[in-house]
Structure 1
Amino acid sequence: MKQPTPLVLAAVSVLALVLASPALAQDSTPPTADIPVAAPAAPEAPAAPAAPAAAAEAPQPASPAPAPAAQAAPEPAAPAPAATVSAPDASAPAAPVAPTAPAAADNAAPAAPAATPAKPKVAKKPVPAGPSYAASTPIKIPATPWSSMPTFDAGSLDRLNGLSQYYAQIARNGGFPAAPPAGLSQGATGSAVLALRQRLVMEKDLPESERDNPKWDARLTTAVSRFQQRYGLQATGKIDERTRAQMAVSVQHRLVQIGHNMERVGARFIDFNRRYVVVNIPSAQVEAIENGEVARRYIAVVGRPQNPSPEVDATISAINFNPTWTVPQSIIKKEIGPHMVRDPSYLSRQRMSVIDGSGRTIDPKTIDWSSGKAANYTIRQAYGAGNSLGQLRIQMPNSDSVYMHDTPSKRLFGSVDRFFSHGCVRVQGVNDLAAWLLGSGWDAKRVGQEIATGARKDQAIPDRVPVHWVYMTAYVTPDGTAHFRPDIYNLDFGSASRIADAQVVNPY
Structure 2
Amino acid sequence: MILSLSPWRHAVFAGLALACLTDYPQAQTVQAPAAPAPLAPAAPAPAAPAPSAGQSSGFSNNPPLAPTLVDPRAASSAPQAAPAVAAKPKPKPAPPRETALSRDPRPSLQPETFYTTAKAAERYRVIAESGGWPTVTAVAPGASGRAVAVLRQRLAIEGDLAAGQDTDEQWDAALTAAVKSYQSRLGLRQSGIVGGATLKALNVPAAVRYRQLASSAERIAASPFAFGPKYVVVNIPSASVEAVEDDRVVRRYVAVVGDVKNQSPEVTTRVVAVNLNPTWTVPTSIIKKEIIPKMRKDPGYLSRAKIRILDSTGQEIDPTTIDWNTERAAGFTLRQDSGAHNALGSIRINMPNSHAVYMHDTPTKHSFGSDYRFLSHGCVRVEGVYDLAAWLLDSSTNRVTKDMLIERQKSGERVDLRPPQPVPVVWIYMTGWASADGIVHFRDDVYGLDRVAYASANELIPPTPVLMGR
When normalised by structure 2's length, the TM-score is 0.76
Match of 2:40 in 1: none
- 2:444 is the counterpart of 1:486: yes
1-structure distance, mates of 2:306, 2:332? 16
Q: Does the Cα contact within 8 Å between 1:94 and 1:230 map onto a contact in 2? A: no
- 2:162 is the counterpart of 1:207: yes
Q: Does the Cα contact within 8 Å between 1:383 and 1:391 map onto a contact in 2? A: yes
Which of the residues 397, 422, 429 maps onto 1:471? 429
* 1:44-80 alpha-carbon deviations (Å, 9 max, x no partner): xxxxxxx9xxxxxxxxx9xxxxxxxxxxxxxx74239
More moved, 163-172 vs 349-358 = 163-172
1-structure distance, mates of 2:344, 2:428? 22
Which of the residues 112, 115, 122 maps onto 1:158? 115
2-structure distance, mates of 1:5, 1:230? 28
Identity of aligned residues (%): 45
Q: 1:494 to 1:383 in 2, by over 3 A?
A: farther
Match of 1:241 in 2: 196
Q: Does the Cα contact within 8 Å between 2:309 and 2:319 map onto a contact in 1? A: yes
Other structure's SS at 2:149 match: helix
2-structure distance, mates of 1:461, 1:5? 44
* 1:396-438 alpha-carbon deviations (Å, 9 max, x no partner): 0100000000011111000011111000000010001001100
Q: 1:189 to 1:165 in 2, by over 3 A?
A: same
2-structure distance, mates of 1:334, 1:340? 11
Q: 1:7 to 1:262 in 2, by over 3 A?
A: farther
Q: What is the deviation of 1:187?
A: 1.8
Q: What is the deviation of 1:176?
A: 0.9
Q: Does the Cα contact within 8 Å between 2:204 and 2:464 map onto a contact in 1? A: no
Alignment of 1:75-94 (within 5 A): 77-79=52-54, 93-94=99-100
Which of the residues 90, 100, 105 maps onto 1:148? 105
* Long gaps (5+) in structure 2: 16-26, 33-50, 56-97, 451-459
- 2:375 is the counterpart of 1:420: yes
Q: What is the deviation of 1:497?
A: 3.8
The aligned amino acid for 1:490 is G
* 1:429-458 alpha-carbon deviations (Å, 9 max, x no partner): 000100110012101111111111110000
Larger Rg: 2
* 1:149-205 alpha-carbon deviations (Å, 9 max, x no partner): 000110011001221222233234332112x123x1112111111110011111111
1-structure distance, mates of 2:264, 2:304? 28
Match of 2:11 in 1: 10
Q: Does the Cα contact within 8 Å between 1:93 and 1:229 map onto a contact in 2? A: no
2-structure distance, mates of 1:210, 1:7? 39
Q: What is the deviation of 1:378?
A: 0.3
Alignment of 1:79-478 (within 5 A): 79=54, 93-96=99-102, 146-178=103-135, 180-182=136-138, 184-440=139-395, 441-478=399-436
More moved, 238-247 vs 401-410 = 238-247
Other structure's SS at 2:418 match: strand
* Long gaps (5+) in structure 1: 15-50, 52-60, 62-75, 81-91, 97-145
2-structure distance, mates of 1:225, 1:372? 56
Other structure's SS at 1:277 match: strand
The aligned amino acid for 1:464 is P
When normalised by structure 1's length, the TM-score is 0.71
Q: Does the Cα contact within 8 Å between 1:79 and 1:307 map onto a contact in 2? A: yes
Match of 1:496 in 2: 463
2-structure distance, mates of 1:185, 1:156? 34
